[in-house]
């Protein structure tokens, strides 16, 4: 797979591509949120570094080095990742996999490449790696990935060339989803893409679980019924929905906020394209007109959700937060 086959991250790919055709540095740091594709890009860059004929578009894909990388058996490439269920990479593993290995000459390629998940390195592990990072053997390139740079020692940061991976656009995420799961409905792919905030890995996880689609339906119906719903029903049935979904309360708030955003768009331009599809959209427009909802009122609803999210983050009482929020939303959705 060449760089051009990876979706998005054009700036990062360009910078890495330049390194492939020139003299690459010894240590790179790929920075970006979890699920953004740091390891995928890091592996592709490693493949380019170990390829006999790399271009700015990455590895050639057909030389022996590329074949070994594709098969996962390149003797000059190693990954040091956080083992599942562990909190940190063991310092002993840093020593055995990296420190005692870097001095040995490469077997096939001109160099050796190490991909290291730096999120898994506690201070002790980072310290163990530091000296080698400061004075790496000529034939060695390190690719570190990290989601939280602030956990890295300043000395690690200063020894690495940092390359930032930015959130993908909604269209790019949608493309990634449809490429992996061609059967996904386009409007569902759009919903996953929007909810994932540009993080492809997260969007792909969402595709594999049902909760987002189910809860999206649920909160949309709730919001559309809000003007008619009684206070008693709000504090009993509706509350129990939130109670059951307690574990991802803030995700539910984000979903609700997305529904209100859609309503705000519909309120200004009823011919706009809607994430909900035509049928729900018509219902939405009816509710908006019937209850004289305008952008300002809808904006207030979003502010109510933000207040609830803040209170929840500050560990406020769940029942009070939810009931207050529902009653405040109800008040905003009263006719007139």
Residue ranges that bind Zn ion, judged by CB under 5 A: 51, 59-60, 63, 66
Closest distance to Zn ion from the beta carbon of 218 (Å): 50
CA dihedral in degrees (200, 202, 204, 205; nearest 10)?
170
DSSP 266-333: HHH-TTS--TTHHHHHHHHHHHHHHTT--HHHHHHHHHHHHHHHHHHHTT--HHHHHHHHHHHHHHHT
First to last CA, the chain: 58
Q: Which is nearer to Zn ion, 37 or 48 (CB)?
A: 48
Q: Which is nearer to Zn ion, 59 or 189 (CB)?
A: 59
Closest distance to Zn ion from the beta carbon of 59 (Å): 5
Q: Which residue is nearest to Zn ion (CB)?
A: 51
Closest distance to Zn ion from the beta carbon of 25 (Å): 20
Closest distance to Zn ion from the beta carbon of 13 (Å): 17
Tell me the two tokens of residue 308. Answer: 């609830």
Tell me the two tokens of residue 265. Answer: 């768009």
Q: Which is nearer to Zn ion, 50 or 203 (CB)?
A: 50
- With CA atoms as reference, report the closest residue to 46 among 107, 4, 109, 96: 109
Q: Which is nearer to Zn ion, 59 or 321 (CB)?
A: 59
Q: Which is nearer to Zn ion, 49 or 143 (CB)?
A: 49
C-alpha distances in Å from residue 121, one per residue of 118, 129, 214, 322:
5, 9, 38, 39
Say how many residues make up the chain: 336
Q: Which is nearer to Zn ion, 61 or 167 (CB)?
A: 61
What is the residue whose two structure tokens read 């009263």?
A: 334
Closest distance to Zn ion from the beta carbon of 51 (Å): 3
Closest distance to Zn ion from the beta carbon of 67 (Å): 8
């Amino acid at each position: 797979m060449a760089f051009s086959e990876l979706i998005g991250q054009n700036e990062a790919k360009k910078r890495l591509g330049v390194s492939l055709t020139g003299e690459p540095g010894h240590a790179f740091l790929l920075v970006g949120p979890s699920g953004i594709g740091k390891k995928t890009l890091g592996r592709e860059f490693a493949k380019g570094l170990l390829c006999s004929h790399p271009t700015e578009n990455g590895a050639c894909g057909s030389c022996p080095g590329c074949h070994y990388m594709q098969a996962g058996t390149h003797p000059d490439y190693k990954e040091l990742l956080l083992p599942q269920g562990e909190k940190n990479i063991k310092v002993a593993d840093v020593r055995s996999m990296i420190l005692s290995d870097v001095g040995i000459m490469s077997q096939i390629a001109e160099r050796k490449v190490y991909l290291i998940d730096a999120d898994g390195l506690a201070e002790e592990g980072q310290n163990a790696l530091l000296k080698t990072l400061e004075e790496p053997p000529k034939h060695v390139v390190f690719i570190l990935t990290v989601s939280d740079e602030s956990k890295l020692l300043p000395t690690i940061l200063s020894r690495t060339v940092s390359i930032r991976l930015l959130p993908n656009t909604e269209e790019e995420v949608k493309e990634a989803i449809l490429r992996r799961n061609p059967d996904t409905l386009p409007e569902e792919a759009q919903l996953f893409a929007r909810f994932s905030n540009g993080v492809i890995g997260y969007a792909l996880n969402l595709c594999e679980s049902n909760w987002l689609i189910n809860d999206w339906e649920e909160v949309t119906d709730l919001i559309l019924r809000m003007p008619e719903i009684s206070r008693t029903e709000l504090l009993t049935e509706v509350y129990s929905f939130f109670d059951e979904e307690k574990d991802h309360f803030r995700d539910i708030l984000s979903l609700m906020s997305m529904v209100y955003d859609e309503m705000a768009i519909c309120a200004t331009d009823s011919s706009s394209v809607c994430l909900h599809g035509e049928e729900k959209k018509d219902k939405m427009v009816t509710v908006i007109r019937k209850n004289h909802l305008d952008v300002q009122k809808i904006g207030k609803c979003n502010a109510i959700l933000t207040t609830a999210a803040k209170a929840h983050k500050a560990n406020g009482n769940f029942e009070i937060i939810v009931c207050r929020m529902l009653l405040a939303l109800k008040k905003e959705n009263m006719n007139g």
